[in-house]
Amino acid sequence: MDTKLTLSLDKVVIEEAKIYAKSNKVSLSKLIETYLATLTSKYKSEIEITPLVKSLSGVISLDDELNVKSDYTDFLIEKYK
């Protein structure tokens, strides 16, 4: 059941929100409702892992001494020589 809510917001914020809502083809009320629902929803303590992702787990083994940051830095240095 929908209930009316009166808010006092900065005029510029309201105008920008209206433009954003219109460009995303959603009403301002729905935009605010979705935002508030997101804020107030309970955080899931465990992320659901899909069966596909579960089946891929362990497919790739990486070297224990692999330093991704260092390797990427070396790659960029070579790329932009």
Amino acid symbol at 32: I
Q: How far apart are the C-alpha atoms of 73 and 71, rounded to whole Å?
A: 5
- Maximal C-alpha separation, the chain: 63
List the domain boundaries for the chain.
9-41
Return the SS3 of 8.
coil
Nearest to 33 by CA among 17, 48, 47, 19: 17
Point out the least confidently predicted range of 7-11, 23-27, 39-43, 51-55: 39-43
* Predicted pLDDT at 12: 95
User: Quick check: pTM over 0.85?
Assistant: no
Tens-digit pLDDT profile for residues 38-71: 888 766 556 778 888 888 887 777 777 778 888 8
43: which DSSP letter? P
